[in-house]
Amino acid sequence: MAALSFADRFVRALPGDPSEANTTRQVLKSCYSRVQPTAVAKPELLVVVPEVAALLDLDPAITPELADVLAGNKVMPGMAPYAACYGGHQFGTWAGQLGDGRAITLGEVVNARGETWEMQLKGAGPTPYSRRADGRAVLRSSLRELVCSEAMFHLGVPTTRALSLALTGNPVQRDMLYDGNAKLEPGAVVCRVAPTFLRFGNFEIHTARDDKATLKQLMAFTLERFYPDHDVASFFEKVMQRTAWMVAEWMRVGFVHGVMNTDNMSILG
Protein backbone atom coordinates (compact mmCIF):
# COMPACT_ATOMS: atom_id res chain seq x y z
CA MET A 1 0.00 0.00 0.00
CA ALA A 2 2.97 2.30 0.35
CA ALA A 3 2.82 3.00 -3.38
CA LEU A 4 -0.65 4.53 -3.21
CA SER A 5 -0.98 8.28 -3.66
CA PHE A 6 -3.24 9.97 -1.10
CA ALA A 7 -4.89 13.37 -1.07
CA ASP A 8 -6.70 14.99 1.84
CA ARG A 9 -8.78 17.58 0.00
CA PHE A 10 -11.87 17.16 2.17
CA VAL A 11 -10.12 17.75 5.48
CA ARG A 12 -7.94 20.56 4.10
CA ALA A 13 -10.78 22.47 2.44
CA LEU A 14 -13.48 22.20 5.10
CA PRO A 15 -13.78 23.09 8.80
CA GLY A 16 -13.18 20.22 11.20
CA ASP A 17 -14.04 19.44 14.78
CA PRO A 18 -11.58 21.37 16.98
CA SER A 19 -11.63 18.55 19.54
CA GLU A 20 -9.83 15.29 18.80
CA ALA A 21 -11.40 13.53 21.79
CA ASN A 22 -13.23 10.42 20.64
CA THR A 23 -16.27 10.98 22.83
CA THR A 24 -19.92 11.08 21.81
CA ARG A 25 -21.10 14.68 21.52
CA GLN A 26 -22.77 17.26 19.32
CA VAL A 27 -20.20 18.51 16.81
CA LEU A 28 -20.91 22.08 15.73
CA LYS A 29 -19.68 24.20 12.81
CA SER A 30 -17.72 21.24 11.46
CA CYS A 31 -17.90 18.86 8.52
CA TYR A 32 -15.91 16.08 10.17
CA SER A 33 -14.04 14.87 13.24
CA ARG A 34 -10.58 13.38 13.04
CA VAL A 35 -10.61 9.88 14.49
CA GLN A 36 -8.38 6.82 14.31
CA PRO A 37 -9.71 3.30 13.71
CA THR A 38 -9.73 1.16 16.85
CA ALA A 39 -7.26 -1.73 16.66
CA VAL A 40 -8.62 -5.27 16.58
CA ALA A 41 -7.32 -8.48 18.11
CA LYS A 42 -6.64 -10.66 15.08
CA PRO A 43 -7.09 -9.12 11.62
CA GLU A 44 -7.77 -11.70 8.93
CA LEU A 45 -8.41 -10.52 5.41
CA LEU A 46 -10.99 -12.84 3.84
CA VAL A 47 -11.25 -11.26 0.41
CA VAL A 48 -9.96 -8.39 -1.70
CA VAL A 49 -11.98 -7.65 -4.84
CA PRO A 50 -9.39 -7.37 -7.65
CA GLU A 51 -11.60 -5.18 -9.84
CA VAL A 52 -12.04 -2.61 -7.08
CA ALA A 53 -8.36 -2.82 -6.11
CA ALA A 54 -7.53 -1.87 -9.71
CA LEU A 55 -9.49 1.38 -9.30
CA LEU A 56 -6.99 2.33 -6.58
CA ASP A 57 -3.89 0.96 -8.34
CA LEU A 58 -3.67 -1.43 -5.39
CA ASP A 59 -2.07 -4.87 -5.59
CA PRO A 60 -4.87 -7.24 -4.45
CA ALA A 61 -2.44 -9.81 -3.04
CA ILE A 62 -3.29 -10.42 0.61
CA THR A 63 -0.40 -9.51 2.90
CA PRO A 64 -0.16 -8.94 6.67
CA GLU A 65 0.25 -5.19 6.10
CA LEU A 66 -2.81 -5.01 3.86
CA ALA A 67 -4.82 -6.96 6.44
CA ASP A 68 -3.72 -4.54 9.16
CA VAL A 69 -4.77 -1.50 7.10
CA LEU A 70 -8.11 -2.88 5.93
CA ALA A 71 -9.04 -4.10 9.42
CA GLY A 72 -8.15 -0.77 11.01
CA ASN A 73 -4.90 -1.70 12.77
CA LYS A 74 -2.59 0.48 10.68
CA VAL A 75 -2.84 3.92 9.12
CA MET A 76 -0.50 4.50 6.19
CA PRO A 77 1.43 7.74 5.62
CA GLY A 78 -0.75 10.18 3.68
CA MET A 79 -4.02 8.91 5.11
CA ALA A 80 -6.10 11.43 7.07
CA PRO A 81 -8.79 9.39 8.87
CA TYR A 82 -12.03 11.11 9.82
CA ALA A 83 -15.70 10.54 10.55
CA ALA A 84 -18.15 12.83 8.76
CA CYS A 85 -20.75 14.98 10.48
CA TYR A 86 -24.24 14.85 8.99
CA GLY A 87 -27.89 14.64 9.92
CA GLY A 88 -30.88 13.19 8.18
CA HIS A 89 -34.58 12.70 7.82
CA GLN A 90 -35.45 9.17 8.91
CA PHE A 91 -38.90 7.82 8.09
CA GLY A 92 -39.97 11.37 7.22
CA THR A 93 -38.84 12.89 10.53
CA TRP A 94 -35.78 15.04 11.19
CA ALA A 95 -33.42 12.95 13.34
CA GLY A 96 -30.82 15.61 14.16
CA GLN A 97 -27.12 14.85 14.19
CA LEU A 98 -26.27 11.32 13.04
CA GLY A 99 -22.85 11.16 11.39
CA ASP A 100 -20.45 8.29 10.75
CA GLY A 101 -21.11 6.23 13.84
CA ARG A 102 -19.16 3.18 12.71
CA ALA A 103 -17.51 4.32 9.50
CA ILE A 104 -14.10 5.97 9.24
CA THR A 105 -12.80 7.37 5.97
CA LEU A 106 -9.10 6.54 5.71
CA GLY A 107 -8.31 8.94 2.91
CA GLU A 108 -8.65 9.82 -0.75
CA VAL A 109 -6.60 7.74 -3.18
CA VAL A 110 -5.58 9.43 -6.43
CA ASN A 111 -4.88 6.79 -9.07
CA ALA A 112 -2.65 6.99 -12.14
CA ARG A 113 -5.61 8.17 -14.24
CA GLY A 114 -6.17 11.15 -11.95
CA GLU A 115 -9.35 9.70 -10.45
CA THR A 116 -10.02 10.13 -6.74
CA TRP A 117 -11.51 7.30 -4.69
CA GLU A 118 -12.30 7.52 -0.99
CA MET A 119 -11.53 4.47 1.15
CA GLN A 120 -13.87 4.01 4.09
CA LEU A 121 -13.82 1.32 6.78
CA LYS A 122 -17.21 0.27 8.14
CA GLY A 123 -17.07 -1.35 11.56
CA ALA A 124 -13.72 0.23 12.48
CA GLY A 125 -14.72 1.38 15.97
CA PRO A 126 -16.50 4.21 17.75
CA THR A 127 -16.49 7.85 16.68
CA PRO A 128 -17.98 11.03 18.15
CA TYR A 129 -21.14 10.12 16.20
CA SER A 130 -21.62 6.60 17.59
CA ARG A 131 -24.23 7.67 20.15
CA ARG A 132 -24.88 4.56 22.28
CA ALA A 133 -23.45 2.07 19.76
CA ASP A 134 -20.07 0.31 19.73
CA GLY A 135 -18.91 1.35 16.25
CA ARG A 136 -18.47 -2.27 15.20
CA ALA A 137 -20.01 -4.52 12.54
CA VAL A 138 -20.58 -8.25 12.30
CA LEU A 139 -19.60 -10.70 9.59
CA ARG A 140 -23.21 -11.38 8.63
CA SER A 141 -24.05 -7.79 7.63
CA SER A 142 -20.57 -7.01 6.29
CA LEU A 143 -20.62 -9.96 3.92
CA ARG A 144 -24.08 -8.93 2.75
CA GLU A 145 -22.85 -5.41 2.02
CA LEU A 146 -19.85 -6.62 0.02
CA VAL A 147 -21.85 -9.10 -2.06
CA CYS A 148 -24.85 -6.84 -2.64
CA SER A 149 -22.90 -3.70 -3.54
CA GLU A 150 -20.78 -5.55 -6.08
CA ALA A 151 -23.85 -7.34 -7.46
CA MET A 152 -25.71 -4.04 -7.83
CA PHE A 153 -22.76 -2.49 -9.66
CA HIS A 154 -22.59 -5.35 -12.14
CA LEU A 155 -26.35 -5.15 -12.66
CA GLY A 156 -25.85 -1.54 -13.75
CA VAL A 157 -27.25 0.08 -10.60
CA PRO A 158 -25.38 3.13 -9.18
CA THR A 159 -23.75 2.13 -5.89
CA THR A 160 -20.66 2.35 -3.75
CA ARG A 161 -18.09 -0.40 -4.29
CA ALA A 162 -16.65 -2.91 -1.82
CA LEU A 163 -12.90 -3.48 -1.76
CA SER A 164 -12.46 -5.99 1.03
CA LEU A 165 -13.82 -7.93 3.96
CA ALA A 166 -11.80 -8.65 7.09
CA LEU A 167 -12.46 -10.53 10.29
CA THR A 168 -11.38 -8.75 13.47
CA GLY A 169 -11.01 -11.57 15.98
CA ASN A 170 -13.29 -9.60 18.32
CA PRO A 171 -16.81 -10.94 18.94
CA VAL A 172 -19.62 -8.40 18.70
CA GLN A 173 -22.93 -8.68 20.52
CA ARG A 174 -26.02 -8.22 18.35
CA ASP A 175 -29.73 -8.92 18.66
CA MET A 176 -30.24 -10.18 15.12
CA LEU A 177 -34.02 -10.62 15.34
CA TYR A 178 -34.61 -7.71 17.76
CA ASP A 179 -36.36 -10.11 20.12
CA GLY A 180 -34.21 -9.55 23.20
CA ASN A 181 -31.96 -12.55 22.55
CA ALA A 182 -28.62 -10.90 21.82
CA LYS A 183 -25.74 -13.19 20.90
CA LEU A 184 -22.05 -12.84 20.15
CA GLU A 185 -21.18 -12.85 16.45
CA PRO A 186 -17.86 -12.64 14.58
CA GLY A 187 -16.75 -9.04 14.17
CA ALA A 188 -15.82 -7.78 10.70
CA VAL A 189 -14.76 -4.68 8.78
CA VAL A 190 -15.71 -3.95 5.18
CA CYS A 191 -13.79 -1.37 3.15
CA ARG A 192 -16.07 0.68 0.92
CA VAL A 193 -14.89 2.75 -2.03
CA ALA A 194 -16.59 5.68 -3.78
CA PRO A 195 -15.64 8.99 -5.42
CA THR A 196 -17.26 10.62 -2.39
CA PHE A 197 -19.42 9.63 0.56
CA LEU A 198 -21.08 13.05 0.72
CA ARG A 199 -24.81 12.65 1.22
CA PHE A 200 -27.91 14.82 1.55
CA GLY A 201 -27.50 14.83 5.32
CA ASN A 202 -24.09 16.53 5.14
CA PHE A 203 -25.90 19.64 3.95
CA GLU A 204 -29.03 19.23 6.05
CA ILE A 205 -27.21 19.31 9.38
CA HIS A 206 -25.81 22.79 8.75
CA THR A 207 -29.15 24.01 7.40
CA ALA A 208 -30.96 22.73 10.50
CA ARG A 209 -28.45 24.56 12.71
CA ASP A 210 -28.65 27.75 10.62
CA ASP A 211 -24.90 27.46 10.09
CA LYS A 212 -24.78 29.27 6.77
CA ALA A 213 -21.01 29.76 6.79
CA THR A 214 -20.21 26.03 6.97
CA LEU A 215 -22.99 25.21 4.52
CA LYS A 216 -21.56 27.66 1.96
CA GLN A 217 -18.07 26.20 2.36
CA LEU A 218 -19.38 22.67 1.88
CA MET A 219 -21.40 23.67 -1.18
CA ALA A 220 -18.45 25.47 -2.77
CA PHE A 221 -16.25 22.40 -2.20
CA THR A 222 -18.90 20.08 -3.65
CA LEU A 223 -19.42 22.15 -6.78
CA GLU A 224 -15.69 22.46 -7.41
CA ARG A 225 -14.94 18.77 -6.86
CA PHE A 226 -18.00 16.96 -8.20
CA TYR A 227 -20.20 19.38 -10.16
CA PRO A 228 -17.77 21.88 -11.73
CA ASP A 229 -20.18 22.96 -14.48
CA HIS A 230 -23.09 23.67 -12.13
CA ASP A 231 -24.37 26.36 -9.82
CA VAL A 232 -26.38 25.58 -6.69
CA ALA A 233 -29.74 25.42 -8.49
CA SER A 234 -28.56 23.17 -11.31
CA PHE A 235 -26.67 21.01 -8.78
CA PHE A 236 -29.93 20.46 -6.91
CA GLU A 237 -31.73 19.58 -10.13
CA LYS A 238 -28.99 17.17 -11.21
CA VAL A 239 -28.96 15.38 -7.85
CA MET A 240 -32.74 14.94 -8.06
CA GLN A 241 -32.43 13.49 -11.56
CA ARG A 242 -29.64 11.11 -10.59
CA THR A 243 -31.50 9.97 -7.49
CA ALA A 244 -34.71 9.31 -9.42
CA TRP A 245 -32.73 7.35 -12.01
CA MET A 246 -31.06 5.30 -9.28
CA VAL A 247 -34.41 4.39 -7.72
CA ALA A 248 -35.72 3.38 -11.16
CA GLU A 249 -32.67 1.15 -11.60
CA TRP A 250 -33.36 -0.47 -8.21
CA MET A 251 -36.90 -1.25 -9.28
CA ARG A 252 -35.69 -2.60 -12.62
CA VAL A 253 -33.86 -5.40 -10.80
CA GLY A 254 -36.77 -6.04 -8.44
CA PHE A 255 -35.53 -4.16 -5.37
CA VAL A 256 -37.80 -1.89 -3.35
CA HIS A 257 -36.15 0.26 -0.67
CA GLY A 258 -38.26 0.83 2.41
CA VAL A 259 -35.88 3.24 4.15
CA MET A 260 -35.15 6.23 1.92
CA ASN A 261 -33.47 8.20 4.69
CA THR A 262 -31.48 11.27 3.67
CA ASP A 263 -28.47 10.32 5.80
CA ASN A 264 -27.94 7.45 3.34
CA MET A 265 -28.57 9.24 0.03
CA SER A 266 -25.46 10.07 -2.02
CA ILE A 267 -25.13 13.35 -3.88
CA LEU A 268 -23.89 11.27 -6.83
CA GLY A 269 -27.12 9.28 -7.13
Which residues form the catalytic set? 263
Phi and psi (nearest 5°) for 202?
-60, -30
CA 217 to chain centre: 20
Q: Fill in the DSSP letter of residue 29.
A: S
Can you name the residues that pair with 165 across neighbouring β-strands? 47, 190
Report yes or no: 59 and 53 within 8 Å, Cβ to Cβ: yes
Phi and psi (nearest 5°) for 16?
-115, 165
Can you name the residues that pair with 190 across neighbouring β-strands? 122, 165
d(CA 206, CA 178) in angstroms, rounded, equals: 33
CA 24 to chain centre: 18
